[in-house]
Structure 1
Amino acid sequence: MTKKKAVVLGATGMMGQKFVQLLANHPWLEVSAVAASDRSVGKSYAASTGGQMVRHLPDGLGELQVVEAAPRAIADPDIVFSALPTEVAGPIEEDFAKAGFPVFSNASSHRMDHDVPLLNPEVNAEHASLVEEQKRRTKWDGFIVANPNCTTAILSLSLKPLHDRFGLETVIVSTMQAISGAGYPGVASLDILENVIPFIRNEEEKVERETNKILGTAAKPATVTVSASCQRVPTIHGHIEAVFAKTRHPASPEEVAKSMSEFQSTPQKMKLPSAPPHPIIVRKEEDRPQTRLDVDEGNGMTVSVGRLRRDSALNGIKYIVLGHNLVRGGAGCSILNAELLMAQKYIQ
Structure 2
Amino acid sequence: MKNYKVGIIGATGMVGQRFVTLLADHPWFTVTAIAASGRNKGKTYAEAVEGRWKMTTAIPDSIKDMVLYDAEADAEEFASQVDFTFCAVNMKKDVIRALEETYAKLECPVISNNSAHRFTSDVPMIIPEVNADHAKIIPAQRKRLGTKRGFIAVKSNCSIQSYVPALTALQEFGIEKVAVCTYQAISGAGKTFETWPEMVDNVIPYIGGEEEKSEKEPMKVWGHIEGDQIVAAAEPVISAQCLRVPVSDGHTAAAFVKFRTKPAKEQMIEAWRSYAGRAQELELPSAPKQFLHYFEEDDRPQARLDRNLEGGMAVSIGRLRDDTIFDYRFVSLSHNTLRGAAGGAVEMAELLCAEGYMD
TM bracket (short chain): over 0.9
Residue 144 of structure 1, aligned match among 152, 164, 172? 152
CA drift at 1:312: 2.1
**Cα distance, 1:288–1:86 mapped onto 2, change above 3 Å:** farther
CA drift at 1:213: 0.6
d(CA) in 1 for partners of 2:102, 2:153: 14
Matched, 1:228 2:240: yes
Structure 1, residues 229-268: CA drift from partner, whole Å, max 9, x if none?
A: 0000011000000011112222122211110011111110
d(CA) in 2 for partners of 1:16, 1:66: 13
**Given residue 140 of structure 2, which amino acid in structure 1 is its aligned partner?**
E
Q: How does 1:33-112 map to 2 (within 5 A)?
A: 33-50=33-50, 51-54=52-55, 55-69=57-71, 70-74=74-78, 75-87=80-92, 88-112=95-119
**Given residue 351 of structure 2, which amino acid in structure 1 is its aligned partner?**
L
Structure 1, residues 171-230: CA drift from partner, whole Å, max 9, x if none?
A: 111011000000147996343111100000000001111011101223322122011100
TM-score, scaled relative to structure 1: 0.96
Q: Cα RMSD (Å) of the superposition?
A: 1.5
CA contact (8 A) 1:156 1:215 kept: no
**Aligned residue for 2:278?**
266
d(CA) in 2 for partners of 1:136, 1:330: 28
**Aligned residue for 1:331?**
342
Structure 1, residues 283-340: CA drift from partner, whole Å, max 9, x if none?
A: 11000000110000010110100101122202x2211001000011001111111111
Residue 331 of structure 2, aligned match among 320, 323, 335? 320
CA drift at 1:168: 1.4
**Aligned residue for 1:133?**
140
CA contact (8 A) 2:193 2:200 kept: no
d(CA) in 2 for partners of 1:346, 1:334: 15
CA contact (8 A) 1:86 1:109 kept: no
CA drift at 1:167: 1.8
Structure 2 residues without counterparts, runs of 5 or longer: none
d(CA) in 1 for partners of 2:2, 2:48: 29
Structure 1 residues without counterparts, runs of 5 or longer: none
Residue 283 of structure 1, aligned match among 295, 309, 326? 295
d(CA) in 2 for partners of 1:249, 1:23: 44
**Aligned residue for 1:193?**
200
d(CA) in 2 for partners of 1:73, 1:38: 14
The aligned length equals 346
**Given residue 222 of structure 1, which amino acid in structure 2 is its aligned partner?**
A
**Given residue 343 of structure 2, which amino acid in structure 1 is its aligned partner?**
G
TM-score, scaled relative to structure 2: 0.93
CA contact (8 A) 2:85 2:110 kept: yes
d(CA) in 2 for partners of 1:262, 1:61: 39
Matched, 1:207 2:214: yes
d(CA) in 1 for partners of 2:308, 2:23: 17
CA contact (8 A) 1:180 1:186 kept: no
Matched, 1:159 2:170: no
Q: Secondary structure at the match of 1:242?
A: strand
Which segment is superposed worse, 244-253 or 20-29? 244-253
**Cα distance, 1:11–1:237 mapped onto 2, change above 3 Å:** same
**Given residue 100 of structure 1, which amino acid in structure 2 is its aligned partner?**
E
CA contact (8 A) 2:211 2:242 kept: yes
CA contact (8 A) 1:244 1:318 kept: yes
**Cα distance, 1:168–1:22 mapped onto 2, change above 3 Å:** same
Q: Percent identity?
A: 40
CA contact (8 A) 1:86 1:107 kept: no
Q: Secondary structure at the match of 1:298?
A: coil
**Cα distance, 1:138–1:72 mapped onto 2, change above 3 Å:** closer
Q: Secondary structure at the match of 1:297?
A: coil
**Given residue 218 of structure 1, which amino acid in structure 2 is its aligned partner?**
I
d(CA) in 2 for partners of 1:86, 1:218: 30
